[in-house]
Amino acid sequence: MPQRFDYIVVGSGIAGLYAALLARRHGSVCVLTKGSIDECNTKYAQGGIAAAVGRDDGPELHLQDTIAAGAGLVDVDAARILVEAAADRIHDLVDFGVPFDSSDGEVALGREAAHSRSRILHAGGDSTGAHIELSLSALARMSRITIKEYVQVEQIVVEGGRAAGLMALDTRTSATERFDAGAIVLATGGCGQLFRVSTNPDVTTGDGIALAYRAGAEVQDMEFIQFHPTALKIPGVPIFLISEAVRGEGGVLRNAAGERFMPRYSEQAELAPRDVVARSIVSEMAATGTDRVFLDVTHLAASRITARFPQIYRYCLDHGVDMTTQPIPVSPAAHYLMGGVRTNTWGETTLAGLYACGEVACTGVHGANRLASNSLLETVVFAKRVVERTLAGDGGPAPPTDGARDLAPLAHEGAGTPDRPSLQALMWDTVGIVRDGPGLRRATHQLAAWRAGLPAPHDRPSHELANMLLAGRLMAEAALVREESRGAHYRTDFPEPREEWRRHVVFRRESPHAA
């Protein structure tokens, strides 16, 4: 017999735990997570959480910055909800025990790229995500929430046109069990592991996107993957994010010759939107024949650097770079997915009974390029709205999109044996920071061939690989369809934005071949 709950939340990052903590007041809650409760993208978020709470700031200014960064594709209604709810959600996090940094009795606010005001709240300097995750996971463990760790969700069960339950594999016992719920909330994060160079942990394999697509829910804006401009680049050292806030504090980017180059690419210099900075770095590396540039904060006081960025300072120092006296070698890395499972402003997907929040969801607030530190804010704002919607009665699924497309069947010749490194290399080379039609076509055919030859998944690694192949195919296909450059999506064969493409690429499974 299936286990039955009022709510099932899939994922244990800030979106999932926040939703679970709110939902526990209104019914039974089960959190399913394929690793430990603490292993998620949230833990690695350094930059902070954006909220217009400063004396010279307001939601309207935050909204304008969000729209400007989104390159013409931001859902203004969703973005307005985001910025207007920010202060209340910060208050909730404080009540949940998140220790935001303060100065002279007031919350400390930092500046990041493309923000017109200082509005970034941090906890523990550059350890914001870890502090939020630990605060929420500790509360969840002490609450009346059923937490099932090391459980890989295999399938969303659809009955009568509604998401009725989940089939899930206990990866420690290899037993498959069914879980039923009145509301199923996907909070599984993004798919940064699609790429060879990524700031994301190993768990970010696009599981929720693949599950939702197979169940018939719509997936939107998969071509918009944000590459963070500055990840530590030292041979043999694991990828490590160097926060946007380092540039916000006054850090400058220099090429191999020691020349500051960002003013040549943008009037905003180092504080330009992330897509601009990432492509500028790629251009500069190509021009100088190197695989890195350097982020320089040596002109700042050493005490300021160590106090503001303790985690980054310690990590760099452990690997031979004293950022107070040496520039940090950096290069871009895959970081954040703007697209995902399409939802309305209440977190409802196009499949009744299925909700999504956090990075797995495409609410429309980020458009084609996310404004720095809006991601953590989005998780709490829309997680709360998901729970509110379930209490108000089932509003029904989000309406379907006219013109949604399905993945076309492609030739399956010369498939080879897929594995994670091969997939990551293909995606990095063809669906990365700079794209073109021939490379994207090669990727779509190779991914289709790999998917066709993949054996039925039977454990966590094989389920993750199957999900990555599907998410990668959706991303490559969306990038091939969009014949323009906009935000984080840049094609050398269509280098300018085109007004006719000021619309979304939406996928919906309609036939068995896309399973």
- Tally of CA atoms within 13 A in the half-sphere of 456 that contains its CB: 3
Give the rounded distance of the alpha carbon of 28 from its chain centre. 28
Question: Could you give phi then psi for residue 424, rounded to 5 degrees?
Answer: -65, -40
Token couple for 32: 């399913």
- Judge whether 444 and 427 are in contact, CB under 8 Å: no
What sign does the CA torsion over 50, 433, 241, 418 have?
positive
Quick one: which of 152, 250, 199 has its CA closest to 359?
A: 199
Cα–Cα dist 187/474, whole Å: 19
Cα–Cα dist 2/287, whole Å: 59
- Judge whether 359 and 41 are in contact, CB under 8 Å: yes
Token couple for 101: 């940094």
- Judge whether 312 and 243 are in contact, CB under 8 Å: yes
- Judge whether 116 and 268 are in contact, CB under 8 Å: no
Token couple for 486: 């906009």
Quick one: which of 300, 456, 365, 384 has its CA closest to 63?
A: 365
Catalytic residue selected from 89, 119, 214, 274: 274
Q: 55-67 as b/e, with b when 16 or more CB fall inside 10 Å?
A: eebebebbbebbb
Quick one: which of 368, 386, 374 has its CA closest to 478?
A: 368
Q: 274 catalytic, yes or no?
A: yes
Q: 26-52 as b/e, with b when 16 or more CB fall inside 10 Å?
A: eebbbbbbbbebbbbbbbbbbbbbbbb
Residue 320 buriedness (CB in 10 A; 0-12 / 13-18 / 19+): exposed
So which residues are the catalytic ones? 274
